[in-house]
Each structure stands twice: as C-alpha cells, then as structure tokens.
Amino acid sequence: MPGFDPEISKLAQRVLINPRKIDYHTGITPARDGKPVIVELTDAKTKEHKDTLEVDAALIATGRAPFTYGLGLENINVVTQRGFVPVDERMRVIDANGNLVPHLYCIGDANGKMMLAHAASAQGISVVEQVTGRDHVLNHLSVPAACFTHPEISMVGLTETDNVDHDINIEKITKTAHETHHKKPQAREKAEKEGFEISVAKTSFKANTKALAENEGEGLAKLIYRPDNGEILGVHIFGLHAADLIHEASNAVALGTRIQDIRFAVHAHPTLSEVLDELFKSAKDVSNMGMFKYFEVFPYIGGSLDYHMHWIQVKAPASTSSPISEPVAAEYQGTSFPSLAIDIDSAAKVGEEIFHVNHGCAFSVLAAVSLLVW
C-alpha cells in the first residue's frame, strides 16, 4: 500500500488478507490477453521468472495516468511531466521556462499533486478565492485520504517512514509514476533534514467501549508529532469508521492546532471519537512553554493582590518559537490600566521563556485584563 504508513499497512495485511483464503503476489508483470488469461509471476528485483498462473479472468488495477494530450498546452509553451501539468502551490500553470502562464490554473488529477476527488474540490475552491481577490494556498498535508475496506484505513499528513521498496521500480510497474511524481518527505526524513526530533503515540480500538460494543475492537490509531512544539505531523487510523474519524485530525493540521491545545477537547462518551481523544492525550513530553500574545490576569472579587518580584510562567501556542524581545518588553513598561498597573522589569529570559514581573494590583470588581505584548 504505497502512500500509507508501513505499520498500518502491515496491520491491514494481518487483519484483511492473512485470515482469508486469498493468494496474493506483489511485483509481477501484467497478464497476457487470451483464454485462459496467463499471468506471469516475475521477481520485480531480479526479473527472474517465478511461476505462471492460468485464470479465467484478470482485473488489472495498476494506477491512473493523466489524460492531458490534445489540450494544446504546446501552444503556450507548457511541457507536461509524465503527462501531469506543472503548477505552483496556487495551482497556477508553469511553462517550460519556469514562468507562470497568466490567468491559467490547473486543478485535480491532471496536476498530479493529490489524485483524490475531495482534493480536486479543495483546489478548485482555492483557485476561486484567488481569482476573486482573496489569496489562498491549500495545505495538501491537511487533506485526508481513506481506503474503504472493512475496517477502514485513513490518514492525514506524513507517514513515519517511507512505504515503498526502493529496489522496486514503481514507475515501471504501474506505468504512471504517480507514487514518485509528487513524492512527499516522510516524518523521519523531514526531521533529519530540518534538525528536530519526532515522537509517536498509539492507541488501540480495544480500549474503546463503542468499538467493543459493536464487536469491532480490531484497530489502531497512530500519531506522529514534534515533542518540542506539539506540531501534528501525521495521523493514521485502521479501524471502524476510520474514514470519518480522520477529519478531527485533518482539521487540526489545517488550522495549525497543537497537541497541547487539542488534548483538552471534550468528546462524548461512549463514541468512536474517543479513540482520537485518547490518542492526543497519550502524547508525551510535549513542551507547553512559550509566549502568549496575551498576558492574562484574573483577580479576585473584592480582593486585592500584591506581588513583588513574582515569577510568572507564560504559556503560548507552540507556533511561537521565540520569546518576547527586550525592545518589545520595554515598550510596555509602566503600562497602566484602570485599577491595574504592571511594571515589566525585564524581558523574558530566552532559555526559560518566563516573565520577571514586579507589580501591585488592587481590585474591587471582577476583571480580566489582557496585556498585548506584541
């Protein structure tokens, strides 16, 4: 199953294929036409002939190839890549010289970015936004994919590792090269190149009461994430209604929601959605340190607060990678609000990402004050 996480693929084979009386072979040449149909089993690596099967009929599903011939692309100096129309991240067509073709977009299977119906729809919506004056770039890593077996398989984002045997020429076998045309980096490869660590969390459908009640406890959910900032890199599910469950994860990726935020979401019990709830909560070592754009103070009703040289830890979205700078902190020194005075003595320490705050507060009513720090 090229494109799916290797661990999920192995589990799917164990559950869907191994218990059934199904003979399967991988890396073979196509069948020969005729009666009976002849299928030659050839080792994809060595090209050595292994066996020959004689069957009544053969259904050949070797992938999809773009059908862009005859569109007249050569008239505007556009050269296809294995039949796919080259486009940029905004679906704008690129000519042979690397220049954008004015007012020309290509969406859907013909551009080869992601050959899924809902991806094509999302690309079309993105283009409409652009032509009506609202810039938009579709994050293809947030587009989910599903395989409608029973139980189902679904995924969004990156896999942990590649699921392609690089000794096998996928392009030659499938004749489409779709798997290699827009090959995306996988999580461990991306982490190695960009210099960060990744972690993996897993949970089983056997721990979900709704799945057990429906006698569908076979399944696994897998989360790949960055422990340093909580970014969700990929989510993979094999289990009951996996194609429906994946959308909570895909929306989180699309919106940039971090684990330290989504782990506090509440899910109804008993439902299958609790599989994702347990998955996000099982993520370990996620840093929640950082800088909020807003420093919030919630005083008591009719009380008073008097803190001197008090250390306050400030939490923030992990997308904020750097603490507040001294010039910004200095800008807000002595900032006054009704019934509140805050004196920021110094900027946040870079390593600890905390404020050193010296302030005195007195309140007679309930108040919630947000101080914009940048």
Phi, psi (deg, nearest 5) at residue 332: -105, 10
Tokens 């970014």 belong to: 231
- Residue 269 annotated in active site: yes
Closest CA relative to residue 237, chosen from 215, 213, 219: 219
For 289, which DSSP code? B
What DSSP letter does each residue of 323-358 carry, written as one string? PPPHHHHHHTTT-EETTEEEEEEEPPPTTT-EEEEE
Residue 265 to residues 1, 155, 164, 224, Cα–Cα distance (Å) = 32, 20, 35, 19
Exposed / middle / buried, residue 41 (Cβ in 10 Å: 0-12, 13-18, 19+): middle
| 106 neighbors 87 (Cβ within 8 angstroms) | yes
Q: Which of 49, 118, 269, 310 is catalytic?
A: 269
3-state secondary structure of 204: strand
Catalytic site residues? 269
